[in-house]
Structure formats: structure tokens, C-alpha cells
């Protein structure tokens, strides 16, 4: 099966995923022989506001040309469906990456975490610089390739397409949703900063901040393995009063000024490996 966008044939190869909004397919461009991702949104019977919300995502994505944000290429309305053609990320998302480490009971090395966080922050800086709020920042919406290159995708603009409530919000998103959204629905770009804090917490602890906060004492990062300054950053991002949280520029400044990259010494990598070996025994 194929679809034509601006007279270019795209052959549908496989379904990549499905959400409350629609389906995502891997498609092959028959002109350049490259793979792309195609989002398909059914719009038959939807209200004008919902249809506009879907089209707004295409308009929003078209504003970006940044290496850490999934690239938008084109869109099309046809046969009661709306399509968005995007960059295809060919390996995995951050959720898969984290879960692989959970299954192996294997901590993520600090150098890798630093590289991931830095790229997420650079992408988020670009988003916020255009006065846009992502609104659904979570590991499932952060894509990675085999070189651990990061691409932020799937903006939460479609939360307005499928009405946001505490009960219908999927659990994966709930783990990363800022408290001000859950309490009264009023928020600004500091909601993304909370989500970022939850992601960083999970990278270090291989566990959800939301569950630890609700059920028992919140874990701290293992300072025998990781630079203790990361905990200071996490605490600032997960401040319940959103106006106290730093903006993305201050987060990047903190990472650079604290020389957190330099904290990944060989001996710390060895501690991670020693702890993993001990655990496996």
C-alpha cells in the first residue's frame, strides 16, 4: 500500500506504533529510497477544534530545524485522514534504552547519561526559545539511534485533541506530568522542566520518581558512583512550586559550569562495572 504526498510515492512498510491520536507507520520514499515516519490521524466526525489541533502539530513541527528535534517534512489531508511526514528514527526510544538496563539490573554510565541529558536540554532550549511548551516530555517521546543521538518528538499539543483529564491521561505520561497540571491545569514551560527532572531521575535510579514519591521514600542517586552535583540538579527540577524551578537556560548553565562531564572519571566507570558484577553474582 502506498500514499502520495506532493506527487511523491511513499510505500507503507510497517506500523511503528499506535496511540490515542492515531497510528504511526514506517514508509519508504520511492524517489530517494529513504525511510520516513508517517503519522495518520482519522478526522472523520471530529469537531473543527479537534481537527485544527491535529493540524497545529504539523504547523508546530515545521518551525523547527534542530538536530535534537524530530524533523518535519510535509503534511496532507486526504480521505478523512490527516497525515504528517517526519524524520524516521531507526533504533529505539529512551524508554526502551532505560528498560534494557532495568532488565539487566545494570546502571547507566555517567558519561552516557551526561550525553543524553545535554542533548535533551539543547532540544528543549530550542523548543522554549520559540515560546512553545512540549507538554508531553517523557522517555517514549525521546528517540535515540545506535550512537545515542537524541531526537525529541511527539509534542503534547494533541492533549487538546483528546481532552486532558486525570482519568484518561495514559499512565506513562502521568509519571512525568507536572503537579500544577494535575492540580488545576494551569502551567507554563516550567512543566517541561518538571518532566525533564523525572527523566533525569529515572536515568540515574532506573525507577519512576512518581512512584517513589507516592509510595515510599524518594531515592537519591548513588554518590559512590555518580557526581553528587546531579542530585542538586534533580532537586531543583522537581521543585513542586513551578516558579522556583530553573528555566532551561539555567539548567544548561548548571551542567556546563559544574563541569559535570568531567565527573565521569575512569574510576567511577570502574565502580559501576564492579557494582554490576557484584549484583550479577
Catalytic residues: 136
Contacts of 155 (CB under 8 A, 6+ apart): 57, 60, 61, 132, 134, 135, 136
Question: Does residue 57 contact residue 158 with C-beta atoms inside 8 Å?
Answer: yes
Q: Pick the closest to residue 21 from 8, 39, 7 (CA basis).
A: 39
Question: Does residue 126 contact residue 68 with C-beta atoms inside 8 Å?
Answer: yes
Q: What string of DSSP letters covers 159-213?
A: GTTS---TTTS-HHHHTT--HHHHHTS---THHHHHHHHHHHHHHHHSS-HHHHH
Amino acid at each position: 500500500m502506498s500514499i502520495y504526498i506532493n506527487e511523491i510515492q511513499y510505500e507503507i512498510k510497517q506500523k511503528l506504533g499506535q496511540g490515542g491520536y492515531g497510528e504511526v507507520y514506517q514508509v519508504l520514499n520511492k524517489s530517494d529510497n529513504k525511510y520516513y515516519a508517517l503519522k495518520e490521524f482519522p478526522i472523520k466526525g471530529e469537531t473543527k477544534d479537534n481537527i485544527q489541533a491535529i493540524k497545529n502539530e504539523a504547523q508546530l513541527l515545521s518551525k523547527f530545524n534542530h538536530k535534537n528535534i524530530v524533523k518535519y517534512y510535509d503534511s496532507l489531508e486526504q480521505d478523512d485522514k490527516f497525515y504528517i511526514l517526519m524524520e524516521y528514527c531507526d533504533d529505539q526510544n529512551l524508554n526502551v534504552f532505560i528498560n534494557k538496563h532495568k532488565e539487566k539490573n545494570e546502571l547507566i554510565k555517567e558519561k552516557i547519561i551526561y550525553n543524553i541529558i545535554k542533548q535533551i536540554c539543547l532540544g528543549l532550549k530550542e523548543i522554549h526559545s520559540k515560546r512553545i511548551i512540549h507538554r508531553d516530555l517523557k522517555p517514549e517521546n525521546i528517540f535515540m539511534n545506535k550512537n545515542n543521538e537524541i531526537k525529541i518528538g511527539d509534542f503534547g499539543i494533541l492533549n487538546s485533541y483528546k481532552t486532558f483529564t486525570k482519568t484518561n491521561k495514559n499512565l506513562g505520561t502521568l509519571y512525568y506530568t507536572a503537579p500544577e497540571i494535575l492540580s488545576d491545569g494551569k502551567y507554563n514551560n516550567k512543566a517541561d522542566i518538571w518532566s525533564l527532572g523525572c527523566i533525569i531521575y529515572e536515568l540515574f535510579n532506573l525507577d519512576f520518581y512518581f512512584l517513589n514519591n507516592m509510595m515510599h521514600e524518594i531515592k537519591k542517586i548513588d554518590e559512590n558512583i555518580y557526581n553528587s552535583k546531579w542530585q542538586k540538579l534533580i532537586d531543583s527540577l522537581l521543585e513542586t512550586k513551578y516558579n522556583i524551578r530553573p528555566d532551561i537556560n539555567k539548567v544548561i548553565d548548571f551542567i556546563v559550569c559544574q563541569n559535570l562531564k568531567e565527573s565521569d572519571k575512569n574510576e567511577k566507570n570502574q565502580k559501576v562495572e564492579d557494582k554490576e558484577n557484584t549484583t550479577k553474582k
